[in-house]
Structure 1
Amino acid sequence: MNQPVKLLLFDIGGVFIQLSGVDQMLSWTRGLHTETELWTLWINSRAVKEFETGRITPDTFAAELIREFSLPVDVPTFLEAFVSWTTQPFPGFQELMAGLNGDYLTASLSNTNELHWNNLCDSLHIHRLFHHNFPSHELGCMKPDKASFCHVLDTLQVPPEETLFFDDTPVNIDAARALGIKAHQVCGVDNLSQTLKELDIL
């Protein structure tokens, strides 16, 4: 690589953790949307954006999302299911990170919320896998917002050209590249490992 790599920056959902809420939402919306349509509605949801930037409480988020999507459930039922949507890791994620942390500065940059983040920290100790963590609900902004990436680079004092970023969402990859970050779209630990090998990181 032309520039030495100092920082490995990772998304979490879709890269290390399998996202399992789609089937539940498809069931609740009774087939009104395709999976792609549902995902588009989700990422553009006002309730989602406000919750994942730490601006509203879990109860307010649930009530607003139920109203937005006309879901046939109450707030407690929704929240009980919602918490479990980010509990299944891709195999090998801990071993992979253990092998990287000795040679590189590592950090996570994830669009998430207090419920999912706390659950991941409690059940999988996800926060211990990286030297630094930047969850969106603590940052107050979300990818692909430029401010998310700039906050990480400024805080860690690493230039974009010495940063590798891995995410499963194309719009986030494009946003990172626009700032000069070397970004790669990956899905799951196997895909990430292969990409790291191709980049001579592993």
Structure 2
Amino acid sequence: MIVFDAMGVLYRYGNVQGRVLIPYLRGQGCTAPEEEIRSAYRSVTLGRVTTDEFWTALGLDPRDEHYCREHALTDGAREALDELAGDGFEPACLSNDAAAWSALLRRRFGLDLRIRRWFISSDLGARKPDPAPYAAVLDGLGVPPGEVLFVDDRPANLAPARALGMRTLLFRSDDTGVAPDPGAEPCVGSMPELVAAVRSL
């Protein structure tokens, strides 16, 4: 099993609030303070409010589909998933996101055809790096942690996976501002590099 992070791995922007959400909201005329936006985002990705309630709290009409058009797929993501599936690897995804947005994005980019199991923070009621989502993934997949490779763009999100016995792989996202530690774990910077690293592990 390979468990992928979404934002910063499958999708281009790891800093989704700074690179996608807040610029989008400003473009839509939202004047809420950034702290309020970040708090609302945390609430919607923890499942405490719906996406409709999220937009309303920030003074906008619901606009899930319009907002989700702002996201971009990481170059080569579909091809990498197809190659790994051909090698016999089964992919899953663990993402800090709102379930409604996650569903729109994976349908838009055809990832729902390639990844069968999606573990979304708003459904789980917990966000990475809280240990609970990782335990939920292992329980849901029903495989020993040693048979799981976890891929994320943030070292802090890899630590709980390692603590549970999973293998880890750092995917360098250009916009997270996180410098990889060469001695911490394997690190890749593109989807072709990811495929090669998986095959070598």
- TM-score, normalization by structure 1: 0.72
Q: Paired residue for 2:18?
A: 22
Pair 1:198-2:197 in alignment: yes
Measure, in 2, the Cα distance between the counterparts of 1:174 and 1:185: 11
What aligned pairs does 1:1-150 form with structure 2 within 5 A after superposition? 7-19=1-13, 22-23=18-19, 25=22, 28=26, 45-64=38-57, 66=58, 74-76=59-61, 82-86=67-71, 88-102=72-86, 103-150=88-135
Identity %: 28
After superposition, what is the alpha-carbon deviation per residue over 1:109-160, rounded to whole angstroms, capped at 9, x for unaligned?
A: 1111134213213311222221322122222222112111111111211111
5+ residue gaps in structure 1? 1-6, 30-37, 67-73
Go from structure 1 to structure 2 and tell me whether the alpha carbon gap of 1:198 and 1:79 turns closer, same or farther (over 3 Å shift): closer
Counterpart amino acid of 1:124? F
Q: Bigger relative contact order, structure 1 or 2, given CA contacts below 8 A and separation 6+?
A: 1
Counterpart amino acid of 1:52? T
Q: RMSD of the TM alignment (CA)?
A: 3.0
Measure, in 2, the Cα distance between the counterparts of 1:193 and 1:184: 14
5+ residue gaps in structure 2? 28-33, 174-187
Q: Which has the larger helix fraction?
A: 1
Go from structure 1 to structure 2 and tell me whether the alpha carbon gap of 1:147 and 1:137 turns closer, same or farther (over 3 Å shift): same
Residue 77 of structure 1 and its aligned partner are, at CA, apart by 8.1
Residue 194 of structure 1 and its aligned partner are, at CA, apart by 1.3
